[in-house]
Amino acid sequence: MLKKVMLVLSLVLMMSWCAFAHHTTKATQITILGDQVKWVNAPPMLPSGAMMAVLEGNPMKPGPFTIRMKAPAAYKIPPHWHSADEHITVLSGTLNLGMGGKFDTSMGKSLPAGSYIVLPAGMKHFAWTDEETVIQLHGMGPWNITYVNPADNPMKHKQ
Ligand SMILES: [Cu+2]
């Protein structure tokens, strides 16, 4: 009898856990046509000149998010890392990406439109463009950027 009660109890627990887990990961239906993407200036933690659009979620809050970044030609992001995994899809142009804590274009790889890259949390990397480039970035918030060399943080110069 006790065994049966325990079984029922654990089943109920499992089911409520599944319902909870499902609920917390369920997305809201979103449709954004390409020409409806709302571009704004990228936040001050990024070198100026880039535009950003939030498609889903809020990168500053916990949970999944998807954003786009439009970088002009000759844009440069100094070596940095993130505390969460970074998933990048190149939508147009070419993203030049290098691994490591030192900006060195000879260490970079040219990633044309259609490319997909995953950078694990904590992996140091840097990027630059030769032409206008749009990337889509998705991951789990809260999102942040830490520059390997604190002097590279654009916030330092904007305060
Ligand atoms: Cu990055």
- DSSP codes of every residue in the chain: -HHHHHHHHHHHHHHHHHHHHHHHHPPPP----GGG---EEPPTTS-TT-EEEEEES-TTSSEEEEEEEEE-TT-EEEEEE-SS-EEEEEEESEEEEEESSS--GGGEEEEETT-EEEE-TT--EEEE-SS-EEEEEEEEESP--EESSGGG-THHHH-
- Could you tell me the distance, in angstroms and rounded to a whole number, from the CA of residue 36 to the centre of ligand 1? 25
- Could you tell me the distance, in angstroms and rounded to a whole number, from the CA of residue 28 to the centre of ligand 1? 26
- Could you tell me the distance, in angstroms and rounded to a whole number, from the CA of residue 41 to the centre of ligand 1? 17
Query: What does pLDDT average to over the chain?
Result: 90
- Could you tell me the distance, in angstroms and rounded to a whole number, from the CA of residue 150 to the centre of ligand 1? 15
Check whether 17 has a pLDDT greater than 70: no
- Could you tell me the distance, in angstroms and rounded to a whole number, from the CA of residue 57 to the centre of ligand 1? 18
- Could you tell me the distance, in angstroms and rounded to a whole number, from the CA of residue 6 to the centre of ligand 1? 49
Check whether 13 has a pLDDT greater than 70: no
- Could you tell me the distance, in angstroms and rounded to a whole number, from the CA of residue 90 to the centre of ligand 1? 13
- Could you tell me the distance, in angstroms and rounded to a whole number, from the CA of residue 81 to the centre of ligand 1? 6
Architecture of the domain defined by 34-158: Sandwich (2.60)
- Could you tell me the distance, in angstroms and rounded to a whole number, from the CA of residue 27 to the centre of ligand 1? 25
- Could you tell me the distance, in angstroms and rounded to a whole number, from the CA of residue 33 to the centre of ligand 1? 26
- Could you tell me the distance, in angstroms and rounded to a whole number, from the CA of residue 97 to the centre of ligand 1? 9
The predicted structure's pLDDT at residue 26: 82
- Could you tell me the distance, in angstroms and rounded to a whole number, from the CA of residue 148 to the centre of ligand 1? 11
Question: Which range is least confidently modeled, 9-23, 32-46, 84-98?
Answer: 9-23
pLDDT digits (tens, 9 = 90+) for 20-70: 555 566 888 999 999 999 999 999 999 999 999 999 999 999 999 999 999
